[in-house]
Amino acid sequence: MENKKIALVTGGNKGIGFEIVRGLLQAGCQVYLGAREATKGEQAAAALAAEGDVRFLEVDLANQATLDAAAARLQRETGHLDILVNNAGINVPGDGSPGTADVRSVAQVLQTNFLGTLAVTQMFLPLVKQAAAGRIVNVSSPLGSLTIVGQHDWALLGYSASKAALNMLTVQLAYELRATAIKVNSAAPGYTATDLNGFEGTDTPAQGAAEAIRLALLAADGPTGTASSSTGVLPW
């Protein structure tokens, strides 16, 4: 265990998160599969057991008690965290264009995707700082790019704003940690077929997971404070 990188992937029980867990296991990491529902999390961990050392960890972005308990467990079991992948996120009915989006739906998306991710990051950052060279990956989206959204008819105000805010977290945290060996980056999966889009995406979850996996395993000379997809760096 001492030779394995320790990773935590939130929202790891399905879709892109599940494939990120799989990819990190195949890379030789010990992975904590974070999920908010115990039954689904345990089932996902069991499905990946043949791939490597995977353990379910209850992580609910809307429940601080689960974050406290999860951080305490990792402190007991590992004492550090090499990789944190902030993958968990939601999309809810009622989100839409600025003129018609339900304000409560927009608030719910921002609360989970941004503020929930911020809470997770703050909770596990002390453990990442205990690693030799920590990696934090925020799973974002092209919908979080002001430049890209300004060129398309993508009317999901809450989701887009939450991912733009997540990119700001990436930039500011990378700068805050600039004197350390920790690297913080945003990974955009692309249009991936998941339940967030009714499985209408053109890419598979494995394809969508590839960039997050790459950033999680960055070498010492890799970038920090960037947003990228499998096709390259994305504009802010």
To which residue do tokens 């998306």 refer?
109
**Phi and psi at residue 208, in whole multiples of 5°?**
-65, -25
**Is residue 106 within 8 Å of residue 95, measured between CB atoms?**
yes
**Is residue 111 within 8 Å of residue 62, measured between CB atoms?**
yes
Q: Is the dihedral of CA 89, 54, 187, 208 positive or negative?
A: negative
Number of helices (H), then strands (E), belonging to the chain: the values are 8, 8
Q: Is 175 a catalytic residue?
A: no
In DSSP terms, 139 is beta-bridged to 187
The runs of H, that is alpha helices, within the chain are 15-26, 38-47, 64-77, 103-110, 117-129, 146-149, 157-176, 205-216
Active-site option among 32, 159, 175, 191 = 159
Give me the active site residues, please. Answer: 159
